[in-house]
């Protein structure tokens, strides 16, 4: 009996430890496309590295990958996502899958219906969304990919699959489409955490609008994903400086976690690559605030596309190698 009790307590301790883990990750969905253009990445010492392995060396322990339905060139379709997920698997890194439910970028400014789904009615759209979600996840499961989290939509602040699922015009249909995605996730990966993801974590109003609506329509999900970008908060006049973002996003995370009874994670963040020293300081502040100022309700931070250069101001690489911005993650390991 004593041995049984000790063994049971040990298992409970292991489970609690896994739940309490604070994850450090990155979205490196553009990896195979970069490689197709002949881009070679390097570590800070100038040694050639594959991107997933480089993230691992920097101290990151998880990878985020977006899924497009039928993208031009095939990058970020389900087969391409599998190729990248297998690299993470080989390094023991779990994966977050981010369904855009579009053939290209989906965010608060655009949520375009995939070409193959145009003309579908609401009932047919739910079936198409569920089928795409299940087929993608089954492909990953067939290869034993450790999918720990699944986003049902990307930055769905205004809903998705417009105009049918535009939240401001038809919250009921956005909620129904979201529920179809969440059910599909659990059908394939019962233990995966289903995430609803919005932008601008410092702004309570947009979170109340979406999550009040989802609650009204009985949608069941596991976690709220947030984007934390001081640069865009300042650009959109939500904050006057980065200090405002660092102050306000933990307050909102704590509030929404308590209001809706779910945990949270920073699934996207980034800082100005042109100002790496300041960027590292801000990134360290974001990680610290997420870990220590959210009442224990935030369970990780993922940098978005650190390797992206030349077409986006918030990467973290210069000359195809990491700047000191990524040291914020390396230094956070074990703290």
The encoded tokens of residue 170 equal 């038809």
Give the span between the Cα atoms of 161 and 173, in whole angstroms: 10
pLDDT of residue 19: 52
Nearest to 204 by CA among 183, 219, 226: 226
Nearest to 30 by CA among 64, 60, 59: 64
Give the span between the Cα atoms of 150 and 9, in whole angstroms: 30
Give the span between the Cα atoms of 277 and 271, in whole angstroms: 10
Give the span between the Cα atoms of 67 and 78, in whole angstroms: 6
pLDDT in single tens digits along all 335 residues of the chain: 544 444 444 444 434 344 569 999 999 999 999 999 999 999 999 999 999 999 999 999 999 999 999 999 999 999 999 999 999 999 999 999 999 999 999 999 999 999 999 999 999 999 999 999 999 999 999 999 999 999 999 999 999 999 999 999 999 999 999 999 999 999 999 999 999 999 999 999 999 999 999 999 999 999 999 999 999 999 999 999 999 999 999 999 999 999 999 999 999 999 999 999 999 999 999 999 999 999 999 999 999 999 999 889 999 999 999 999 999 999 999 66
Give the span between the Cα atoms of 77 and 118, in whole angstroms: 18
Indicate the pTM of the whole model: 0.94
Nearest to 24 by CA among 219, 290, 300: 300
The whole-angstrom distance between residue 124's C-alpha and the CA centroid of its chain comes to 27
Q: What structural domains and CATH numbers belong to the chain?
A: 23-332 (3.20.20.80)
Give the span between the Cα atoms of 160 and 40, in whole angstroms: 35
- Alpha helix segments (H runs only) across 21-156: 31-36, 51-57, 78-90, 122-142
pLDDT of residue 14: 38
Segment 73-81 long-range contacts (CB within 8 Å, at least 24 positions apart): 73/33, 75/30, 75/32, 75/33, 75/36, 76/29, 76/33, 78/135, 78/136, 78/139, 79/139, 80/32, 81/29, 81/136, 81/140
Nearest to 151 by CA among 167, 136, 169: 136
**What burial class does residue 238 get, using C-beta atoms within 10 Å of its C-beta: 0-12 exposed, 13-18 middle, 19+ buried?**
middle
pLDDT of residue 311: 85
């Amino acid at each position: 009996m004593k041995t049984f009790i000790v063994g049971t307590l040990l298992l409970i301790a292991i489970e609690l430890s896994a739940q309490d883990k604070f994850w450090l990750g990155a979205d490196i969905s553009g990896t195979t496309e970069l490689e197709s253009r002949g881009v070679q990445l390097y570590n800070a010492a100038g040694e050639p590295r594959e991107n997933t392995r480089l993230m691992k060396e920097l101290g990151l322990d998880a990878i985020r990958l977006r899924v497009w339905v039928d993208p031009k060139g095939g990058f970020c379709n389900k087969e391409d996502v599998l190729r990248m997920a297998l690299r993470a698997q080989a390094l023991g890194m779990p994966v977050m899958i981010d369904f855009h439910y579009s053939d290209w970028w989906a965010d608060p400014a655009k949520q375009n219906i995939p070409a193959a789904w145009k003309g579908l009615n609401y009932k047919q759209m739910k079936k198409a969304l569920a089928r795409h979600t299940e087929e993608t996840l089954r492909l990953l499961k067939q290869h034993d990919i450790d999918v720990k989290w699944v986003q049902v939509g990307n930055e769905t602040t205004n809903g998705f699959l417009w105009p049918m699922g535009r939240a401001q015009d038809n919250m009921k249909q956005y909620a129904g489409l979201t529920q179809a995605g969440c059910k599909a996730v659990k059908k394939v990966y019962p233990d995966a955490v289903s995430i609803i993801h919005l932008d601008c974590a410092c702004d309570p109003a947009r979170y109340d609008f979406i999550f009040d609506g989802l609650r009204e329509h009985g949608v069941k999900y596991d976690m709220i994903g947030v984007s934390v970008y001081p640069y865009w908060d300042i650009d959109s006049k939500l904050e006057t400086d980065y200090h405002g973002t660092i102050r306000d996003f933990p307050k909102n995370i704590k509030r929404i976690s308590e209001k809706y009874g779910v945990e949270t994670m920073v699934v996207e963040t980034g800082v100005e690559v042109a100002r790496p020293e300041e960027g590292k300081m801000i990134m360290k502040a974001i990680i610290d605030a997420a870990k220590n100022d959210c009442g224990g309700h935030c369970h990780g931070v993922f940098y978005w596309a650190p390797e992206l250069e030349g077409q986006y101001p918030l990467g973290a690489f210069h000359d195809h190698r990491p700047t000191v911005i990524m040291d914020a993650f390396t230094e956070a390991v074990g703290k």
